Amino acid sequence: METTTMMPTADITTHIKTFLARVIPDHELEDEEDIFAAGYVNSLFAMQLVLFVEKEFHIAIEQADMVIENFRTVGAIARLIEHKQLVAAR
């Protein structure tokens, strides 16, 4: 039987921050800092971010979740991943 492993929140956050650090160097991102409002990343990067999240955390972002609010902060992304992993584990 296939088992779904849940990644701890801290690990999820670290993974996301490592990915974001590639485009936002020399800056310690806060968990609830708006990466778009601060002008760090553009809309094309948002699309890259979705692909990263899907591949890295083995989840599929459905149409209803494809809203920029879910990707605006590290915290929001982590919450979405946790929610998706929880649903998948059920």
Partner 1 sequence: MKTRTIGVLGAGVMGRGVAQALAQTNHQVILIDRTPDILTRAEQSIRQNTRLMRLFESQKQAADPEAIISRIKFSTDYEMLAEVPIVIENVTEKWDIKKSVYQRIDRICHDECIFAVNTSAISITRLASVTTRAAQVIGMHFMNPVPMKPMVEVIRGYHTSDATISTAKTLVADMAKECIIVNDSPGFVTNRVMMLTINEAIFMVQEHVATVEEVDRLFKQCFGHKMGPLETADLIGLDTILLSIEVLYDSFNDSKYRPCPLLKTMVDAGLCGRKSGRGFYTYQLDNTDH
Query: What burial class does residue 75 get, using C-beta atoms within 10 Å of its C-beta: 0-12 exposed, 13-18 middle, 19+ buried?
Result: middle
If the CB atoms of residues 47 and 89 are measured against partner 1, the closer one turns out to be: 47
Q: Cα–Cα distance between 57 and 27 in angstroms, integer? A: 24
Q: Among 1-9, 10-18, 50-58, 78-86, which window interacts with partner 1 (CB under 8 A)?
A: 50-58
Establish if 68 lies at the interface with partner 1 (CB under 8 A).
Answer: yes
**38 interacts with partner 1 by CB under 8 A:** no
Pair of tokens at residue 68? 């920029």
Q: Measured from the CB of residue 22, what is the shortest distance to partner 1 in angstroms?
A: 7
